[in-house]
Structure 1
Amino acid sequence: MTAARGQANLVGLAAALVLLTAVTTGSVVLAGVALADADTDPAARHAGETLADRLVAADAAHTRRANAVEWDAVRSLNATAVDRIAPSVRGREVRVRLGDRTLVERGDPDGVTVRRLVRVERTDRRTTTVNLSGRRTVTLPNRTRTVELDVTTDGTTTLTAVRAHDRIVLRDPHGLSGTYEFRVTRVGPPHLSFATDDGVDGVVRIRWTATNATVEPLEVTVGA
């Protein structure tokens, strides 16, 4: 009984070793196939990652800072600019998409796709008029960054100062007249107030740049 049981155990052990070897070999083969599928063209992947990184770099011509692109600038991106900022994509099929819009497409690339999330900033120019005989303050929309003033008076009004919140941004005791431009802080909606020395008649035309921002996916696809 003991000898027979020992032989049976040896047979079972041998079968187990054969099965383990087969499973291990199969796993290695499957892993190799998966790795090959994931990186069939490492050069294309490198080119895609390089281009994506350069598109969101702080020193790019169309960015305000790292990962923040200016829509008016980036929407004019073309294949020539892409080749210049990332020479590794030259001669390759390439597609660059921002949100639901295709910015650049050369050929029909079906290779690797590299994705980044970026802040997309859109600027909007707006205008309003303040009649100093009726009011001396105005509040602009939030996210306003730059303000431009056109000051016109009838000769009896002397506009001496303009404040943004509690900070004097323009001042001339002899009277402000003409066009001025200044930046405002990004903390809360800018509140402008106007100080005059005499008279109540005068007009200030205000133009400002407001910024709206969204977060959108940037996709770079590079082919062979």
Structure 2
Amino acid sequence: MTRAQANLPALAIALLLVVTSVGAAIGLAGSAFAGANTDSEDGRLAGSVSERLVAADGPLAVRANVLSRAAVETASARLGDDWLPGDAAVRVTLDGESVVERGDPTGGATMRRVVLVADVDRRELSPRFESGTTVTLPRRTANATLTFGDGADVTTVRANDRVVLRDERGLDGSYDVELARYDTVSLAFEGDGELAPGGVTITYRAETTTKAVLGVTVDA
């Protein structure tokens, strides 16, 4: 019993040493992990610029993570010093091709993001109404201009069952119609009789998108 009591202080000291060693090891591991995951200043700046460029209100974007091809082609005029960090050397690329460059960023850090690049062109069609009175427009068509010529005989136009134009005397002239951007829109034409082929012209903007990689390099 006396021997057991005599060993208690030694056991307590041993446990204290073990706990202290484990605590020190955990502390060192935590510091190493934090250091390995701390971004450099160049990395933080590159990330910040790339986030601003792909934001919905960015100077090259038509919406979040979708860049306008036309805006990208004029990026040097759109990206002023207020969009680029301080006096740092900066390069913005799309699929490896330089879009805008300031200075000579030979080092630094690069942030890359997968984006969509939108091409928009204006199209025109004149339905003949040979197989029905409904015309489906491409997805993301946000608006269209409908022009009714003589003898069109159209009194009502519906967009996905929503009445967008109506005149019981007959629609005449050109009308701008707002459509649902994120839906595929079908325009249905109604009239007093058979609709005349070629009596209606639909003009709209069609968007096609392709994937690309946006790169931002900052060398402060």
**TM-score greater than 0.5 by the shorter chain:** yes
**What is the match of residue 10 of structure 1?**
none
Partner of 1:85, secondary structure, is coil
In structure 2, distance between residues paired with 1:48 and 1:218 = 11
**Count of equivalent residues:** 187
Match of 1:65 in 2: 63
Q: What are the equivalent positions in structure 2 for 1:1-224 lying under 5 Å apart?
A: 42-78=40-76, 81-86=79-84, 88=85, 90-110=86-106, 111-131=108-128, 136-154=133-151, 157-185=152-180, 189-197=184-192, 200-201=195-196, 203-224=199-220
Deviation per CA, 1:36-81, whole angstroms, max 9, x where unpaired?
xx97xx4333322221121112222332333222222233111762
C-alpha root-mean-square deviation of aligned residues, in Å?
3.2
CA distance in 2: counterparts of 1:183 and 1:150, whole angstroms: 14
Work out whether residues 154 and 195 of structure 2, in 8 Å CA contact, stay in contact via their aligned partners in 1. Answer: no
Partners of 1:219 and 1:146 lie apart in 2 by 32
Task: Kindly provide the amino acid, as one letter, of the partner of residue 151 in structure 1.
Answer: F
SS in 2 for 1:50: helix
Per mean C-alpha deviation after superposition, the further-off stretch among 198-207 and 157-166 is 198-207
- Distance in structure 1 (CA, Å) of the matches to 2:49 and 2:172: 48
Q: Deviations over 1:125-164 (max 9, x none)?
A: 211112468863322334433222111114xx53211122
TM-score for both structures, normalised by structure 1 = 0.68
TM-score between both structures, scaled by the size of structure 2: 0.69
C-alpha distance in 1 between matches for 2:102 and 2:81: 11
The AA in structure 1 aligned to 2:143 is: T
Structure 1: unaligned runs, 5 residues or longer: 1-30
Per the alignment, in what secondary structure is the counterpart of residue 120 of structure 1?
strand
SS in structure 2 opposite 1:78? Answer: helix
CA deviations 1:190-218 (Å, max 9, x no partner) are: 32221112575461111112222233221
Distance in 1, Cα, partners of 2:172 & 2:77: 47
Cα distance change on mapping 1:75 and 1:188 into 2, 3 Å: same
Distance 1:68 1:198, change over 3 A: same
SS at match of 2:189: strand
Q: How far apart, CA to CA, are the structure 1 residues paired with 2:78 and 2:131?
A: 54
Aligned-pair distance for 1:83?
1.7
CA distance in 1 between counterparts of 2:133 and 2:117 reads 35
One-letter code of the match for 2:52?
R
Contact 1:147 1:207 in 2 (8 A): yes
1:54 counterpart SS class = helix
